[in-house]
Structure 1
Amino acid sequence: MTAAEFAAAQWTRATGAGVDPHEYRRVADGLTSVADWGPSFVHTGLAYLERAEGAGPSVTAGEYLLTAARWFHLATLAPYAEAGRAAAAADRALGRALAMREPGARRLTGEGFTGWLRGPADAPGTVVVVPGLDSAKEEFLDLVDALLARGLAVFAMDGPGQGVLAATTAMRADYEQVVGRVVDALGVARVGLVGLSLGGYFAARSAASEPRVAAVATVSGPFRLDWAELPQPVRDIMARRTGGADAAREFAGQVDLTDLAPRIAAPLLVVDGGKDVIPGVTNGEPLARLAPHGTYLSVPHGDHLLGNARPDWLPHLVDHLTDTLIGARA
């Protein structure tokens, strides 16, 4: 794949994560190979760190830091020897931004997870945001903001093999164990759960076995994976995240919600993009159909993660979680 093809494939994902589309074009257009992706995106993130330093302790500095976090995270999407450092830089930038902008934000870390709890201490509901195969807590800041605007508390997390934990842990299929520990750490009786991309599988699987999940939503989540049909780039990412090709093949074989879907008692919203077609991936329609309280929202023009169609699904998802957790509001 050429640099131009890779950049085009990541276009709506990057802009959906909140980077300026014009700057994305300028950075991506300057790449001569995919190998340049990581260093160029890290360089852009460092430029925002410099701007933050120049702005002093201010709202503007916080905004620059959030932008830096996004660029550092995006640097990890292509094979990159320094991906661990880039993820760590994203994590630090997000932490510094929240310290400036939201002094009440709390870092929570436990076995197999780390992240930030944001929102009012007396929030009427709490939502956990679960990333996917190569995403991280820094990628879905707009989703977190939309949930915070409804008065909810939000814990955006990295789990095993994800984000800042990717360098020291391996991805695991039994993510419900991690979610259980997260809910323990949050100290709440019930949570909402939203998972994006492979995080949709993690969220659905967790909802099937964790009774404290009271509402759940998935975005571009797989219902089932077929290792033999998966594109080689997806296999390669999975191998890096799980600890090798054999571990990746075993992991993929566990991604199947056929038996788990009927056990999801919580109201479930499944969001898919009609243009999201990946060989070896069965999308979420069977999950919504088999779950006792499943609803399916397919956006015909949506791609993977639906970064090109946010108005068509994001308000619905936020409404679903808010209304289920705390009731409809005027």
Structure 2
Amino acid sequence: MNTQEFAAAQWTRATGVGVDPHEYRRVTDGLASVADWGQSFLRTGHEYVQRAEDAASPLSAGEYLLTAARWFHVATLTPYADASRGAAEADQALSRALTVLEPGARRLSGEGFTGWLRGPADPPGTVVVVPGLDSAKEEFLDLVDALLARGLAVFAMDGPGQGVLAATTTFVPDYERVVGRVIDALGVARIGLVGLSLGGYFAARAAALEPRVAAVATVSGPFRLDWDELPTLLQEIMARRAGGTDAAHAFARQVDLAALAPRIPAPLLVVDGEQDVIPGVTNGEALARLAPRGSYLSVPHGDHLLGNARPDWLPHLSDHFTHTLTGAPA
């Protein structure tokens, strides 16, 4: 895949993260090869960190740091990137940004997780955001903002093998235990749980096995994976995140929600884009159909993670949690 093709393939994901589309084009148009991707995006992120250092107000500094976090994260979205470096830089920039912009935000970490709890001190509900194969807590800031705007508290996390923890941990088969430890750390009786991409599998699995999950949603989550049909790039990423090819193969075999879906008692919203047709990945219609309280939203023009269709699903998903966790009208 040449540079232009790769940049086009990442277009809606990068702009969905919140990267300015015009600057994205300027940066990617200047790439000589895909191998230059990581360094170019890291360099752009560092330019925003410098802008934060030079800013005339704390508000501007915090906004520049949030932008830097986005660029650092997108720097990791290529097999040629130093993902651990980009993830560490994104984590640091987000931490600095929230320290400035939201003094009440709290960093929570425990066995197999780390992240930021944002929102009111006494919220009507709390939602945990779970990333996927190569995403991280820095990727879904617009989702977090939509939930915060509805008065909910939000914990955006990295789990084992994800985000800043990918350098020191690998995927675990029992993600529901991680979610359980998160709930313990939050000190709440019940949570909403939203998982994106592979995080959709983690969220659905946790909702089936952790009784304190009171509402759940998945976005572009797999119902089933077939290792042999997965594109080579996805196999390589999964091998890195799972701790080797054999571990990745075993993990992929486990991703099958047929038996777990009927055991999800909470209201479940499954969101798919009909243009999301990754070989070896079965979309979520079957999950919604098999879950006792499942509903399905399929966006005809939506791609993977539906970065090209935010208005078609993000408000609906946010209202799903407001209604199920607080009883407020959807």
Which TM bucket (shorter chain)?
A: over 0.9
* Counterpart check, 1:131 vs 2:114: no
Q: 2: distance between equivalents of 1:287 and 1:47? A: 43
Q: What are the superposed Cα offsets for residues 102-148 of structure 1, whole Å, 9 maximum, x if unpaired?
A: 00000000000000000011001000000000000000000000000
Q: 2: distance between equivalents of 1:226 and 1:219? A: 19
Q: What are the superposed Cα offsets for residues 223-247 of structure 1, whole Å, 9 maximum, x if unpaired?
A: 0000011010110110111111111
- Counterpart of 1:214 in structure 2 is 214
- Counterpart of 1:38 in structure 2 is 38
* Counterpart check, 1:327 vs 2:296: no
2:16 partner amino acid: G
How far residue 5 of structure 1 moved from its aligned partner, in angstroms, is 1.1
How far residue 83 of structure 1 moved from its aligned partner, in angstroms, is 1.8
Residues 11-22 of structure 1: matches in 2 within 5 Å? 11-22=11-22
How far residue 82 of structure 1 moved from its aligned partner, in angstroms, is 2.5
- Counterpart of 1:190 in structure 2 is 190
Deviates more, 1:2-11 or 1:76-85: 76-85
Q: What are the superposed Cα offsets for residues 272-303 of structure 1, whole Å, 9 maximum, x if unpaired?
A: 00000011000000000000000000000000
Residues 132-151 of structure 1: matches in 2 within 5 Å? 132-151=132-151
- Counterpart of 1:98 in structure 2 is 98
- Counterpart of 2:315 in structure 1 is 315
SS in 2 for 1:139: coil
How far residue 30 of structure 1 moved from its aligned partner, in angstroms, is 1.1
Q: 2: distance between equivalents of 1:86 and 1:207? A: 31
- Counterpart of 1:160 in structure 2 is 160
How far residue 310 of structure 1 moved from its aligned partner, in angstroms, is 0.4
Deviates more, 1:166-175 or 1:42-51: 166-175
- Counterpart of 2:267 in structure 1 is 267
1:225 partner amino acid: L
2:139 partner amino acid: E
Q: 1: distance between equivalents of 2:229 and 2:85? A: 32
2:49 partner amino acid: L
Q: Is residue 37–residue 81 contact of structure 2 (8 Å, CA) maintained in 1? A: no
* Counterpart check, 1:236 vs 2:247: no
SS in 1 for 2:120: coil
Deviates more, 1:72-81 or 1:46-55: 72-81
2:307 partner amino acid: G
Q: 2: distance between equivalents of 1:158 and 1:167? A: 12
Q: 2: distance between equivalents of 1:2 and 1:113? A: 36
Q: What are the superposed Cα offsets for residues 194-234 of structure 1, whole Å, 9 maximum, x if unpaired?
A: 00000000000000000000000000000000001101011
Q: 2: distance between equivalents of 1:36 and 1:173? A: 34
1:301 partner amino acid: H
How far residue 80 of structure 1 moved from its aligned partner, in angstroms, is 3.5
Unaligned runs of 5+ in 1: none
- Counterpart of 1:223 in structure 2 is 223
- Counterpart of 2:256 in structure 1 is 256
Q: 2: distance between equivalents of 1:305 and 1:173? A: 23
Q: Is residue 173–residue 255 contact of structure 1 (8 Å, CA) maintained in 2? A: no
TM-score normalized by the length of structure 2: 0.99
Percent identity among equivalent residues?
80
How far residue 174 of structure 1 moved from its aligned partner, in angstroms, is 1.5
- Counterpart of 1:10 in structure 2 is 10
Q: What are the superposed Cα offsets for residues 132-173 of structure 1, whole Å, 9 maximum, x if unpaired?
A: 000000000000000000000000000001000000000123
How far residue 6 of structure 1 moved from its aligned partner, in angstroms, is 1.0
- Counterpart of 2:29 in structure 1 is 29
* Counterpart check, 1:247 vs 2:247: yes
1:83 partner amino acid: A
Q: 2: distance between equivalents of 1:100 and 1:159? A: 25
2:144 partner amino acid: V
SS in 2 for 1:239: helix
- Counterpart of 1:294 in structure 2 is 294
Q: What are the superposed Cα offsets for residues 15-35 of structure 1, whole Å, 9 maximum, x if unpaired?
A: 011010000011111112111
Q: Is residue 39–residue 81 contact of structure 2 (8 Å, CA) maintained in 1? A: no
Deviates more, 1:239-248 or 1:108-117: 239-248
Q: Is residue 173–residue 202 contact of structure 1 (8 Å, CA) maintained in 2? A: no
SS in 1 for 2:66: helix
Q: 2: distance between equivalents of 1:329 and 1:92? A: 38
> What RMSD over aligned residues (CA atoms) do the two structures have, in Å?
0.9
Equivalent pairs counted in the alignment come to 330
